[in-house]
């Protein structure tokens, strides 16, 4: 099977890894491969995805919940992060689970580029018509680029948020969630030497020396499927699916190819 993968960000490279695991010939296309490699935006993984990654145990805690019911926590967290009520949120799971295992995402990206970097080609994707015309020789197209590039008529709801990134001691590993509306940040974590503080709807971080600030689009949506039978959409932006974390791309691509 010959597969064209659109996008060489973390999702594209994990889709390539899954495709290779299934014995496919793969080509990967990206408008700016160096940029997608540098600005991954992934800070840890929930699964090693058969990449033999270093792992750590991460303690987690949810702050500001002592006088709240589970329903109030869910509503408060959704409003703080998304500016609206969200039915499916992970905050209640974080309350129940005091410790999770995390895998090194920087290590994963380096290994994926070592494995598949030579198969990345420079090409800007601008429309569905272009994809169907230029990639007709492939048996399947896996798209991890923003879904609205291929399907501009879709209504892709999302919000712009900010993330503060800095360094932390290598041995630190924690995640704090915060539902208190008087605190600007909703998640703060440290792992593998990186500190991250995330801000939700309508909130911005304070500029401090020694930190990098990034603007990101936080997806609100449960995913789209392509009406084109030879195009598989996957990834948080590729399928506009907020539940699709980076490790999910690997597993969902595997499942799709096995059941295809």
Task: Give the strand pairing for 2-6 and 140-143.
Answer: parallel
Q: Are residues 243 and 181 in the same domain?
A: no
Residues 68 and 140 in one domain: no
Res 168: pLDDT: 95
Is the same domain home to 61 and 48? no
Q: Is the pLDDT of residue 260 over 70?
A: yes
- Assess whether 85 and 98 both reside in one domain: yes
- Say what the pLDDT of residue 253 is: 98
- Residues 248 and 166 placed together within one structural domain of the fold: no
Query: 38 or 11, which is more confident?
Result: 11
Pair (5, 47) in one structural domain: yes
Say which CATH number the domain at 38 has. 3.40.50.720
Q: How many domains does the chain have?
A: 2
- Same domain, yes or no: 47 and 170: no
Q: In terms of domains, do 143 and 232 share one?
A: yes
What is the DSSP track for 207-231?
P-TT-EEEEEEEE--B----SSTTE
**Longest distance between any two alpha carbons in the chain, whole Å:** 60
Cα–Cα distance, 133 to 104 (Å, whole number):
38
Whether residue 29 is predicted with pLDDT greater than 90 in this model: the reply is yes
pLDDT at 211 over 80: yes
Mean residue pLDDT across the chain: 94
Q: Are 112 and 206 part of one and the same domain?
A: no
Distance CA 185, CA 167 (A): 18
Find, among 89, 57, 90, the residue nearest to 172 by Cα: 57
State the pLDDT at residue 41: 79
The residue among 96, 110, 95 whose CA lies nearest residue 13 is 110
Mean pLDDT throughout 84-96?
Answer: 86
Identify whether residues 70 and 90 lie together within a single domain: yes
- pLDDT tens column, 152-190: 999 999 999 999 999 999 999 999 999 998 999 999 999
Mean pLDDT across the stretch 197-217?
86
Contact 18, 253 (CB under 8 A): yes
Mean pLDDT of 58-63: 96
Residues 150 and 163 in one domain: no
User: Which residues are paired to 194 by β-bridges?
Assistant: 167, 191
What integer pLDDT is reported at residue 39 of this predicted model? 66
Gyration radius of the chain over CA positions: 19
Domain hosting residue 189, numbered range: 56-103+158-219
Which pLDDT band holds residue 192 (cuts at 50, 70, 90)?
A: very high
62 shares a domain with 91: yes
Distance from C-alpha of 24 to C-alpha of 17, rounded to nearest angstrom: 10
User: Regarding predicted confidence, which is higher, 247 or 203?
Assistant: 247
Three-class HEC string of 23-36:
CCEEEEEECCHHHH
First to last CA, the chain: 11
């Amino acid at each position: 099977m010959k597969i064209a993968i659109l996008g060489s960000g973390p999702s594209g490279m994990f889709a390539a890894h899954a495709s290779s695991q299934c014995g496919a010939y793969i080509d990967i296309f990206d408008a700016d491969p160096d940029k997608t490699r540098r600005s991954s935006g992934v800070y840890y993984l929930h699964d090693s995805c058969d990449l033999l990654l270093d792992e750590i145990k991460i303690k987690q805690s949810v702050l500001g919940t002592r006088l709240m019911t589970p329903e109030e926590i869910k509503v408060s967290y959704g409003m703080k992060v998304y500016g609206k009520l969200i039915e499916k949120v992970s905050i209640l799971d974080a309350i129940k689970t005091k410790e999770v295992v995390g895998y090194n995402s920087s290590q994963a990206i380096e290994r994926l580029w070592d494995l598949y970097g030579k198969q990345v080609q420079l090409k800007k994707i601008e429309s569905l018509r272009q994809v169907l015309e230029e990639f007709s020789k492939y048996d399947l197209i896996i798209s991890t680029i923003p879904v609205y590039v291929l399907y501009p008529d879709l209504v892709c709801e999302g919000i712009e948020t900010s993330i503060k990134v800095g360094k932390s001691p290598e041995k630190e590993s924690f995640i704090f969630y915060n539902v208190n509306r008087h605190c600007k940040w909703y998640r703060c974590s440290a792992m593998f030497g990186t500190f991250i503080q995330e801000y939700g709807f309508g909130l911005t971080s304070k500029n401090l020396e020694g930190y990098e600030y990034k603007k990101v689009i936080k997806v609100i949506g449960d995913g789209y499927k392509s009406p084109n039978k030879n195009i598989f959409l996957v990834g948080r932006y590729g399928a506009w699916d907020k539940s699709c974390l980076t490790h999910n791309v690997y597993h969902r691509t595997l499942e799709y190819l096995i059941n295809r």
